[in-house]
Structure 1
Amino acid sequence: MTHLGARQIKPTSPIKPQHCPEVCRTCSEVMGNIFGNLLKSLIGKKEMRILMVGLDAAGKTTILYKLKLGEIVTTIPTIGFNVETVEYKNISFTVWDVGGQDKIRPLWRHYFQNTQGLIFVVDSNDRERVNEAREELMRMLAEDELRDAVLLVFANKQDLPNAMNAAEITDKLGLHSLRHRNWYIQATCATSGDGLYEGLDWLANQLKNKK
């Protein structure tokens, strides 16, 4: 039924949105930043404090800067320490490389506090001092401040022809006697980088599995 005097309104065509590439690009960037920040807040970058020790000339400083810079640097015996941050797999490893000369080994204990992971570097070619390395390692592991630290052993200098393999180093260091300690041994060559990131993978998994 049509009422007299009623005005008939004709439907209008829909308004077409105008495409603006710059606005779309800005919106996309904003949304990307929001999502990225949200993801970062949910996941977060984890941090792990690592103490790297071992006898002098084991290759600690070479390992540190191979991980940090990806290249071999000329090193001199470390008197004191080097500290660098190594970013790997969303984990920020703060690595303290402490000198290994016998006169400064008593200073190692000053770096024990808050250490989550211990990297012990062994010169696999130095058969004469492997027992000395074992004594220093066991002395450290007896310290209360390191009771919860996981242990990664780098059996370094595997490129040398007379180097002991990882199994032999494991036996020489007495690692199988460590019943209440998470430990892992990795054969490495600091100059080529072989084995270094496999070791970091293990450390990363240990950190991830910690409650």
Structure 2
Amino acid sequence: MGLLALIKKMKKQSNKDLRILLLGLDNAGKTTILKKLASEDINHITPTQGFNIKTVQSSGFRLNVWDIGGQRKIRPYWRNYFENTDVLIYVIDSADRKRFDETGEQLGDLLDEDKLAGIPVLVFANKQDLLSAASASEIAENLNLHKIRDRKWQIQACSATTGEGISVCNKINPVNRILLMSIDWRFTSCCVYGGKNVGQLIIRESMICISEYSYLGLDLIS
């Protein structure tokens, strides 16, 4: 069932909750992103040793976001939180190139999990405010995201500290992107200009332009 059909079904019910799982390596910026989405102060962030839960309201829906610690000793317990996940958000430190292989392996393991089979994935390429940060397209290529064919996916360049890619235009903010990820969509184009990825998609009769930092999986045409 596509997200559009799912949302329609949910609107007929009293329960309009979506469960979002927020994962990534330690120091990727998961908690900062979560606080930014919730419009909370980000000046005092400490490493997540267990998990945080925040509820973000959008379009009449409650997005219950589970932020799980990314330290190596905690990762084996990630699977305890897979049940009933609607969207997986995976955060990457775009400036920590030495850990690209490690974060790619972790993401690959997540995509192989039976309880996350077919779950849409939104990758946040965080810390774009740093000069050493890799672009979203570079990370997508490095992680072979274009080979993902069993689910919808998207990569979004962002900076949790500045709000770039998070506190974006009201029409397509990251919260709405999460809702859109399960909508039945079909792509009209996806091109690269000057190293930045530009995509468009049609949802029924409405044309929605994705920001220049969006990188959409072309193999996911429904």
Instruction: State the TM bucket, normalised to the shorter chain.
Output: 0.7 to 0.9
C-alpha contact (below 8 Å) 1:45/1:90 kept by paired residues: no
Which residue among 177, 180, 183 is the counterpart of 1:202? 177
Distance 1:43 1:115 in 2: 19
Distance 1:76 1:90 in 2: 31
Shift of 1:205: 1.3
Could you tell me which residue of structure 2 aligns to residue 150 of structure 1? 120
1:133 aligns with 2:133: no
1:71 aligns with 2:41: yes
Distance 2:125 2:174 in 1: 11
Distance change >3 Å, CA 196–CA 174, structure 1 → 2:
same
**Higher helix fraction: Structure 1 or Structure 2?**
1
Aligned residues: 171
Distance 2:161 2:54 in 1: 18
1:54 aligns with 2:29: no
Distance 2:24 2:163 in 1: 18
Distance 2:48 2:78 in 1: 13
Could you tell me which residue of structure 2 aligns to residue 99 of structure 1? 69
Shift of 1:77: 1.2
Could you tell me which residue of structure 2 aligns to residue 177 of structure 1? 147
Helix, strand or coil at the partner of 2:28:
coil
Q: Deviations over 1:24-76 (max 9, x none)?
A: xxxxxxxxxxxxxxxxx768673210000000000000111111134324111
1:87 aligns with 2:57: yes
Shift of 1:98: 0.3
C-alpha contact (below 8 Å) 1:54/1:133 kept by paired residues: yes
C-alpha contact (below 8 Å) 1:49/1:116 kept by paired residues: yes
C-alpha contact (below 8 Å) 2:21/2:89 kept by paired residues: yes
Distance 1:71 1:45 in 2: 29
Distance 2:82 2:15 in 1: 23
Distance 1:127 1:208 in 2: 33
Which residue among 73, 85, 88 is the counterpart of 1:115? 85
Helix, strand or coil at the partner of 1:130:
helix
Q: Deviations over 1:180-203 (max 9, x none)?
A: 110000001101222125332221
C-alpha contact (below 8 Å) 2:31/2:67 kept by paired residues: yes
Distance 1:207 1:90 in 2: 16
Shift of 1:207: 3.7
Distance 1:200 1:166 in 2: 19
| 2:132 aligned partner, one-letter code | N
C-alpha contact (below 8 Å) 1:159/1:189 kept by paired residues: yes
Could you tell me which residue of structure 1 aligns to residue 189 of structure 2? none
Distance 1:199 1:132 in 2: 25
Could you tell me which residue of structure 2 aligns to residue 190 of structure 1? 160
| 2:37 aligned partner, one-letter code | L
Unaligned regions of 5+ residues in structure 1, if any?
1-40
Could you tell me which residue of structure 2 aligns to residue 161 of structure 1? 131
TM (norm. structure 2) is 0.72
Could you tell me which residue of structure 1 aligns to residue 204 of structure 2? none
